[in-house]
Amino acid sequence: MVDEAHSIGVLGATGRGIAEHAGVSPRAVDLWMGTLSKSLASVGGYIGARREIVEYLKYTAPGFVFSVGMAPANAAAALESLRILRREPERVARLHENARLFLALARARGLDTGGSDRSPVIPVIVRDTVRAVRLSQQLLERGVNVQPMIAPAVPEAGARLRFFVSAAHTTEQIRNAVDIVSSVWDADR
């Protein structure tokens, strides 16, 4: 089973997710699941599998038994997002460039980005819940919107700020954001 929540529309040369990124045949995986609420600009999620598995889940998984179908507008938004990804692969290339830039600048400033590599979801490890929340608030006041990830979602020593770099960010915005983060970080020591 592979959860594509943070990889569909992001990983791989054309954004087709972890299979493209890792060079694995999608048919080699029994279950693919993911969300439509990130790269696909909608709500809900999906399961991809053999027909028998999908039918079984449809009638037995608690989340499906009492749920209703997706609104047509949400389905249309996700479908159009997929069409745009196919039609405009340069968006994924720009996303990858922006993520590399943010990561390189953050590391050059001495910010702990953990094991981040080739992902536009980039942490800055703070190691303290209270400080992570405080830094998030201070950054918002300076025009940088970043949410803290704190215990119990991560261990206390793993408290972090989680940045989501997008293809729509400009080089200037990325450089400015890292400058502000570094400045606020240094002032909060």
Q: Residues 118-134: what's their mean pLDDT?
A: 95
% the chain with pLDDT above 70: 97
Whether the predicted pLDDT of 154 surpasses 80:
yes
What is the 3 state secondary structure string of the chain? CEECCCCCCCCCCCCCCHHHHHCCCHHHCCCEEEECCCCCCCCCEEEECCHHHHHHHHHHCHHHHCCCCCCHHHHHHHHHHHHHHHHCCHHHHHHHHHHHHHHHHHHHCCCCCCCCCCCCEEEEECCCHHHHHHHHHHHHHCCCCCEEECCCCCCHHHCEEEEECCCCCCHHHHHHHHHHHHHHHHHCC
pLDDT of res. 44 = 87
Least confident of 34-48, 111-125, 141-155, 163-177: 34-48
Cα–Cα distance measured from residue 183 to residue 123, given in angstroms and rounded to the nearest whole number: 17
pLDDT of res. 45 = 87
Calculate the alpha carbon distances from 56 to 36, 50, 51, 62 in Å: 22, 10, 9, 12
Q: Residues 142-160: what's their mean pLDDT?
A: 96
Average model confidence (pLDDT) across the chain = 93
Q: Confirm whether 2-87 and 90-187 share one CATH topology.
A: no
pLDDT of res. 5 = 87
pLDDT of res. 64 = 63
Q: Residues 70-92: what's their mean pLDDT?
A: 94
Place of tokens 């709500």: 43
pLDDT of res. 1 = 92
Cα–Cα distance measured from residue 126 to residue 128, given in angstroms and rounded to the nearest whole number: 6
Whether the predicted pLDDT of 61 surpasses 90:
no
Domain residue ranges in the chain: 2-87, 90-187
Q: Which CATH architecture has domain 2-87?
A: 3-Layer(aba) Sandwich (3.40)
* Strands of the sheet with 160-164, listed across from one edge: 121-125, 160-164, 147-149
Whether the predicted pLDDT of 68 surpasses 90:
no
Whether the predicted pLDDT of 182 surpasses 90:
yes
Least confident of 28-37, 54-63, 87-96: 54-63
Residue range 8-58, pLDDT digits in tens: 999 999 999 999 999 999 999 999 999 998 899 999 888 899 999 999 988
pLDDT of res. 120 = 93
Q: Which CATH architecture has domain 90-187?
A: Alpha-Beta Complex (3.90)
Tokens of 88: 């405009």
